[in-house]
Structure 1
Amino acid sequence: MKKKIEKALENVFIIDNQKNIIESGFVKKIDLLSHKIVIYLSLSNPAMHFKNKLIKDITHSIKNQNISDPICIKIEMKSDPKIKPVIKNIIAVASGKGGVGKSTIATNIAVSLVKMGFHVGLLDADIYGPSIPLMFNLEEVDIHTKIHKNGMMNPIMSYGVKILSIGFFSKYGQAIVWRGPMVTKVLRQFIHETDWGKLDFLIVDLPPGTGDIHLSLLQEISLKGIVIVSTSQKIALSDVNRSVGMFRIQSISVPILGIIENMSYVLTKESKEKCYFFGKNGVKNFSKKMNLFFLGEIPMLQEIRKYSDLGIPGVLKNDKIKNIFLKITRNIINQL
């Protein structure tokens, strides 16, 4: 029986490894109990999707040997000295309100940092509404060949940025209906079970609000600072006020590097005058009131929307957009 099981396991391979799991030394022990097979595996920080696929492949291969006994697979994690991510600065981009352009700003800041010569990663922590794959035109990425690498997740490289998002693991537009503990588990894997390598900056695109994801992130990693994004109307600033309050709670206490005013104004075609659609200087006045550094303003430009929809960061296509974001990015670095 044991020989048949070993033969079955020789048909199970790990992606990016030409050896089967027996040859690779991942199978540590096989126990044959009363009408039960227990297989012990030892892997380096296996990601959830990787573990599920491995268990499925092992079970399928053993059943193909006409073995009907129940199969129990126990996986222990071992540290891999070869994989030691070194991230100098982790910065989260946050907003209390949805729809203020936070993901667009996170994308263009990340690419601006790359253009300045830094090694940059971008983590899409908005589990329920991931936008980063769309921003980089990566909705159709094949995760099975590009994400999993010997049990670790390997970020996708696009425009010089290392990117990871839950959107890579779901179909475009698919609803992700998970409770808090599941979200926390996935976020922990994105941080600790991903081969980020050496980074000068990891930009984390947070979801709106003040919930599980924010608290989980603050518990898991040491943030160098928060960048707040808002538009100028009172309803947006009311929600931002709550976010600022959360980051300033004594038990959390993460430095807020500053606040960005997005969609500040529109230039009219006729007179080229500034039309303050959401109100004038709302964020600037709020920053003074809350003692926050004002990082800069971004006007409502059709080019930003157009290039975002095409999956191309605007800083790569338009000099005006590039200069706006370079100025804001320099301000963020200076605040660090």
Structure 2
Amino acid sequence: MKERIEKALENVILLDKKNIIESGFVKKIDLLSNKIIIYLSLSNPAMHFKNKLIKDITDSIKNQNILDTICIKIEMKSDIKPVIKNIIAVASGKGGVGKSTISANIAVSLVKMGFHVGLLDADIYGPSIPLMFNIEEEDINTRIHKNGMINPIISYGVKILSIGFFSKYGQAIVWRGPMVTKVLRQFIHETDWGELDFLIVDLPPGTGDIHLSLLQEISLKGIVIVSTSQKVALSDVNRSVGMFRIQSISVPILGIIENMSYVLTKESKEKCYFFGKNGVKNFSKKMNLFFLGEIPMLQEIREYSDLGIPGVLENENIKNIFLKITKNIINQLSMK
């Protein structure tokens, strides 16, 4: 009987194309009358990964018709002690809406509030976090590896890791999905993050391999969505919201930020809504999302970003804008 169960479990395939028997996840199988108890030991604590695994195991065993009436009980034990309290991803279906700028300034805002913070640049094909923090290539060679683990670089109090540390400025990253997944696993599980209150993950645009891999590899406490009020941007954001709300993924969305919401005219200081007025606010109501706040299109934000300095460190207005948004994120996190 156990051999038949093991044979059925060989049909449960993981992201690396290995089944759960090959991967060593299955530690023991017990048979008690009409009950099958499978003991699994996981290195991945993500709840959505566990739920999918339980479903795949249950379906595979039932498809084999091993018993007429069965009760399958799966007991799991995680191999990893959590040292990161809250992992939050910053996402948008649209490129160019300012996710990296917002990720950088939220991370530094959290540091200024007294938290231990990490920032993972998960945009493999277009990493920009090194530029946002003015981390140059010569800083990396002596600081990136430590005792076989990847050692993040600390800038402005934030522990940072990016594929940009491993490639020359402007070099194209031309990788297929499995290679991207492998690198992200290393960044998550083979990095000496230490103890963190928050790990901010700067996601790439879209709803592809990188998003699915991350959702299966880490236990996200929540998603922060970024968009402009432009209809084209909101159309893509709508798809991202749909992905995060898929039942098998089901990651809480903490809220949405409206970036580049308006420009102040020089003469009258009136608000000019370059991408449209209240588009994100109306979208948030329609999609039942908490509105985390708006960020105006300020020249200073762009200038400080180009200098590699998070604007919250240099400008009181920028600081207050991001402080309010960061506090809203923390409040939503506690409610979730």
TM exceeds 0.5?
yes
CA distances 1:85-129 after superposition (whole Å, capped 9, x unpaired)? 600000000000000000000000000000000000000000000
CA distances 1:51-86 after superposition (whole Å, capped 9, x unpaired)? 999999999999999999999999999999xx9660
**Pair 1:305–1:89, CA change in 2 (3 A):** same
Residue 33 of structure 1: CA displacement? 48
Structure 2 gap ranges (5+): none
**Pair 1:91–1:270, CA change in 2 (3 A):** same
Deviates more, 1:26-35 or 1:134-143: 26-35
CA distances 1:253-281 after superposition (whole Å, capped 9, x unpaired)? 00000000000000000110000000000
**Pair 1:57–1:175, CA change in 2 (3 A):** farther
Residue 145 of structure 1: CA displacement? 1.3
Q: Distance in 2 between matches of 1:301 and 1:243?
A: 26
Structure 1 gap ranges (5+): none
Q: Percent identity?
A: 92
- The answer (yes or no) to whether the contact 1:44–1:77 under 8 Å persists in 2 is no
**Pair 1:169–1:224, CA change in 2 (3 A):** same
Q: 1:283 aligns with which of 280, 284, 290?
A: 280
- The answer (yes or no) to whether the contact 1:38–1:71 under 8 Å persists in 2 is no
Q: Distance in 2 between matches of 1:210 and 1:64?
A: 31
Q: Distance in 2 between matches of 1:34 and 1:134?
A: 62
**1:307 maps to which residue?**
304
Q: Distance in 2 between matches of 1:73 and 1:175?
A: 48
How many residue pairs match? The answer is 333
Q: Distance in 2 between matches of 1:251 and 1:36?
A: 26
Secondary structure at the aligned position of 1:78 is classed as: strand
- The answer (yes or no) to whether the contact 1:231–1:283 under 8 Å persists in 2 is yes
- The answer (yes or no) to whether the contact 2:12–2:19 under 8 Å persists in 1 is yes
**Pair 1:239–1:306, CA change in 2 (3 A):** same
TM-score between both structures, scaled by the size of structure 2: 0.76
Alignment of structure 1 residues 113-152 onto 2, 5 Å: 113-152=110-149
CA distances 1:21-52 after superposition (whole Å, capped 9, x unpaired)? 99999999999999999999999999999999
Q: Distance in 2 between matches of 1:238 and 1:286?
A: 10
- The answer (yes or no) to whether the contact 1:93–1:106 under 8 Å persists in 2 is yes
Q: Distance in 1 between matches of 2:92 and 2:125?
A: 15
Residue 140 of structure 1: CA displacement? 2.0
Please state if 1:59 is matched with 2:58. Answer: yes
**Pair 1:298–1:42, CA change in 2 (3 A):** closer
- The answer (yes or no) to whether the contact 1:47–1:153 under 8 Å persists in 2 is no
- The answer (yes or no) to whether the contact 1:37–1:70 under 8 Å persists in 2 is no
Secondary structure at the aligned position of 1:141 is classed as: helix
Residue 150 of structure 1: CA displacement? 1.1
**Pair 1:223–1:78, CA change in 2 (3 A):** closer
- The answer (yes or no) to whether the contact 1:30–1:37 under 8 Å persists in 2 is yes
Please state if 1:269 is matched with 2:240. Answer: no
CA distances 1:191-212 after superposition (whole Å, capped 9, x unpaired)? 0000000000000000000000
**1:192 maps to which residue?**
189
- The answer (yes or no) to whether the contact 2:54–2:74 under 8 Å persists in 1 is no
TM-score between both structures, scaled by the size of structure 1: 0.76
**Pair 1:90–1:79, CA change in 2 (3 A):** closer
**Divergent runs of 4+, >4 A:** 1-16, 18-80
- Root-mean-square deviation (CA, aligned residues, Å) is 12.2
Residue 142 of structure 1: CA displacement? 3.7
Q: Distance in 1 between matches of 2:293 and 2:261?
A: 10
**Pair 1:69–1:179, CA change in 2 (3 A):** farther
